[in-house]
Amino acid sequence: MADKEERRIPEASVARLPIYLRCLSELTETAVATVSSVSLAELAGVNAAKVRKDLSYLGSYGTRGVGYEVEYLTHQIRLELGLTQDWPVVVCGMGNLGQALANYGGFGSRGYPIGGLIDADPAKVGTELHGHTIHHIDDLDRVVEESGATIGILATPAEAAQSVVDRMVEAGLKSILNFAPSIVSVPEGVSLRKVDLAIELQILSFYQGRSEQDLTPPIVSR
Amino acid sequence: MADKEERRIPEASVARLPIYLRCLSELTETAVATVSSVSLAELAGVNAAKVRKDLSYLGSYGTRGVGYEVEYLTHQIRLELGLTQDWPVVVCGMGNLGQALANYGGFGSRGYPIGGLIDADPAKVGTELHGHTIHHIDDLDRVVEESGATIGILATPAEAAQSVVDRMVEAGLKSILNFAPSIVSVPEGVSLRKVDLAIELQILSFYQGRSEQDLTPPIVSR
DNA sequence: TAGATTGTTAATCGATTAACAATC
DNA sequence: TAGATTGTTAATCGATTAACAATC
């Protein structure tokens, strides 16, 4: 076949790798050295064949008859996901949600330190939050450059979302996590994911009304 | 065929209905009376054929040669999603994220009023947040009953997640939106969706490292 | 009638999963 | 060698999308 590039991990598999990673870190904490696809599947809440298939895209890191070495597999997944380096994030929009995200300590410890906080309100600019000064959106380019950030979190009101995201892209951010209740578009080459609390609740509402026979299967992440 | 029950909307379509709803409300604001599948698709960031297919599961609410009446379609989707009534939500875990969610005004106005706030820390119990008193987890049953809530938001630390979710299920909640960085399981008949900030960031990291030829397609919600 | 757009069919694509040979 | 478990194949299922007849 002589194809030059073999490696292409399906989107659905990529989305599950972080879940496996979390399960593996639990296993590390409880001093478990090896894990079978069946056990890992149980922890992750998925089918065992799916686990094996997902992991096979990374390479052959398991041992037949034994399972996967927890530490080694952890390392390989982290490598694949690019988690061997820190990825500073710039948070745009310091309303309720933006402030909560900035105060949430979990990011830094997971390899996503705050690279900068941004708002358009002059009253907020210059104030401190969780040890970070809030900068004006006009200084976004500089903040991105100085922090080396490539990931941006969009937490503005819906009205401002598209114009802020345009400026984020212009400032050089390559990945955007959109918390604004709005559909935004980005040029090719920029990754976009969306988290929308109201939409999640509305999806749950749908399955609320259903009768016993058609139950929703549990859905993860989204 | 004489099947008794025709209506079964695919999961992927259900998940897009709230997105269409949001686009339709924008159209209403700008006084647009009818919309074609092509325009709606553009607003929602999806394929037009997909819009027509999704909407066809609701019934034949469009007019050939014309499009869909915005107001009528809005009503039908809201009906299908069960958004004609309020769904009080109980928030369990009043840490950073739980507090932010409680303070976030967007829920009430969208039909998800706060039905109760819950924590296990005696120091927090009894204090007020956004006009709601924080109750102890031991009073969960009573809070659920009195508020009539069927949806719960889980915002505890990872360690407490499964035990709290068990109590939420026991208290009668039928849908749970899990913000805790942990995989939890629920019995059949209970819906579960998960929102995990760290996992979203890790998925973005994966696509960061990729070369130009294999770009991530934008992914919405999930 | 001519133009526009739906609703639906059918082809295609990607994801899931059971099954099992390979192999530790 | 016997038992366990991976890695992979192939069948199946569900979602996407192009195409077009129906029809406003």
Three-state SS across A13-64? HHHHHHHHHHHHHHHHHCCCCEECHHHHHHHHCCCHHHHHHHHHCCCCCEEC
B142 falls within a domain? yes
Residues A7-22: b if buried by 16+ CB within 10 A, e if exposed: eeeeeebbbbbbbbbb
Which pair of tokens denotes residue B141?
A: 């049953």
In a domain, B204, yes or no: no
- Is A215 within 8 Å of B183 when comparing Cβ atoms? no
Does a structural domain hold residue B127? yes
Mean pLDDT, range B83-109, rounded to an integer: 89
Tell me which residues of chain B, numbers 130 to 149, contact chain A at a CB-CB cutoff of 8 Å: none
Name the minimum distance, in Å, from the CA of A117 to any CA of chain B: 17
Separation between Cα atoms, residue A88 and residue A174, nearest integer Å? 12
Q: Which residues of A touch B89 (CB under 8 A)?
A: 201
- In contact, A43 and B162? CB cutoff 8 Å: no
Report pLDDT digits (tens) over B152-195: 999 999 999 999 999 999 999 999 999 999 999 999 899 999 99
Of A52, A80, A108, which residue sits at a domain end? Answer: A80
Supply the pLDDT for residue B2. 34
Cβ-in-10-Å burial (0-12, 13-18, 19+) of B97 comes to: buried
pLDDT tens digits along A181-219: 999 999 989 999 999 999 999 999 999 866 444 444 444
B69 and B155 in a single domain? The answer is no
> Does any strand D atom come closer than 7 Å to the Cβ of A65?
yes
Q: How far apart are CA B107 and CA A164, in angstroms?
A: 23
- pLDDT tops 80 at residue B4: no
| pLDDT the model gives residue A215 | 43
Domain boundary among B80, B107, B134: B80
Does the structure show a pLDDT above 70 at A221?
Answer: no
Question: Is there a single domain that holds both residue A30 and residue A99?
Answer: no
A141 and A49 co-located in one domain: no
Read off the CATH number of the domain in which B67 is found: 1.10.10.10
pTM: 0.91
Q: Is the pLDDT of residue A2 over 70?
A: no
Instruction: Identify whether residues A186 and A167 lie together within a single domain.
Output: yes
A53 part of contact set with chain B, CB < 8 Å: no
Give which of A42, A96, A103 is closest to A67, Cα–Cα. Answer: A42
User: Is pLDDT at A5 greater than 50 in this prediction?
Assistant: no
pLDDT in tens, A22-65: 999 999 999 999 999 999 999 999 999 999 999 999 999 999 99
| pLDDT tens string A146-167 | 999 999 999 999 999 999 999 9
* pLDDT at position B216: 45
Residues B108 and B66 in one domain: no
Cβ neighbours of A42 in B, within 8 Å: none
Start-to-end Cα distance in chain A: 36
- Res. B34: pLDDT tops 60: yes
Residues A22 and A61 in one domain: yes
Considering CB atoms only, which of A105, A175, A220 is closest to B207? Answer: A175
Do B138 and B194 lie in a common domain? yes
Asked if the Cβ of residue A218 lies within 7 A of any atom of strand C, the reply is no
Residues A163 and A64 reside in one and the same domain: no
Assigned token pair, B123 = 């120091």
**Residues of A184-204 as b/e, b for ≥16 C-beta within 10 angstroms?**
bebeeebbbbbbbbbbbbbbb
Residue B214 has pLDDT above 90, yes or no: no
Q: Are A221 and B194 in contact (CB under 8 A)?
A: yes
Q: How far apart are CA A99 and CA A1, in angstroms?
A: 53
Substitution target from B9, B200, B211 for chain A, most A beta carbons within 10 A: B200
Nucleic strand C under 7 Å from the C-beta of B13: no
- B107 to each of B47, B188, B201, how far by Cα in Å? 29, 27, 24
Q: In which region does residue B84 sit, left (phi positive, over 0), alpha (psi from -120 to 50) or beta (all else)?
A: alpha
Q: Are residues B40 and B133 in the same domain?
A: no
Helix (H) or strand (E) holding B90: strand B89-92
Query: What tens digit of pLDDT does each residue of A58-114 get?
Result: 999 999 999 999 999 999 999 999 999 999 999 999 998 899 888 877 788 889 999
Cβ of A129 under 8 Å from any chain B Cβ?
no
Query: Is A195 in contact with B197 (Cβ distance < 8 A)?
Result: yes
Q: In what order do the strands lie in the sheet with B34-35?
A: B34-35, B67-69, B62-63
Residues 10-69 of chain B sitting with CB below 7 angstroms of strand D: 10-13, 46-47, 49-50, 52-53, 63-66
Q: Which residues contact A138 (CB under 8 A, 6 or more apart)?
A: none
| CA–CA gap between residue B127 and residue B134 (Å, rounded) | 6
Quick check: is B133 in a domain?
Answer: yes
Q: Write the CATH number for A145.
A: 3.40.50.720
Task: Give me the sign of the Cα torsion angle A172, A173, A174, A180.
Answer: negative
Q: Are strands A132-136 and A128-129 parallel, antiparallel or unpaired?
A: antiparallel
Question: Residues B30, B101: one domain?
Answer: no
Q: Is residue B218 predicted with pLDDT exceeding 50? A: no
Give one DSSP letter per residue of A125-188, joined into a string.
TT-EETTEEEEEGGGHHHHHHHHT--EEEE-S-HHHHHHHHHHHHHTT--EEEE-SSS-----T
The last residue of a domain, from among B80, B107, B139: B80
Residue B209 lies in a domain: no
Q: What is the dihedral of CA B196, B198, B202, B205, to 10 degrees?
A: 120
Residue A209 belongs to some domain of the structure: no
Test mutation, A74, A91, A191, A212, chain B, max B CBs within 10 A: A191
Find tokens 């034949």 and name the residue: B60
Identify the pLDDT of residue B109: 82
- Domain of A121, in residue numbers: 89-199
φ, ψ of residue A34 in degrees (nearest 5)? -130, 155
Query: Are both B184 and B96 inside the same structural domain?
Result: yes
Residue B214 in domain: no
Q: Are residues B18 and B70 in the same domain?
A: yes
pLDDT of residue A7: 59
- Flag whether B27 is in a domain: yes
Q: Kindly report the average pLDDT of chain B as a whole number.
A: 90
Structural domains of chain B, count: 2
Q: What pLDDT is recorded for position A217?
A: 43
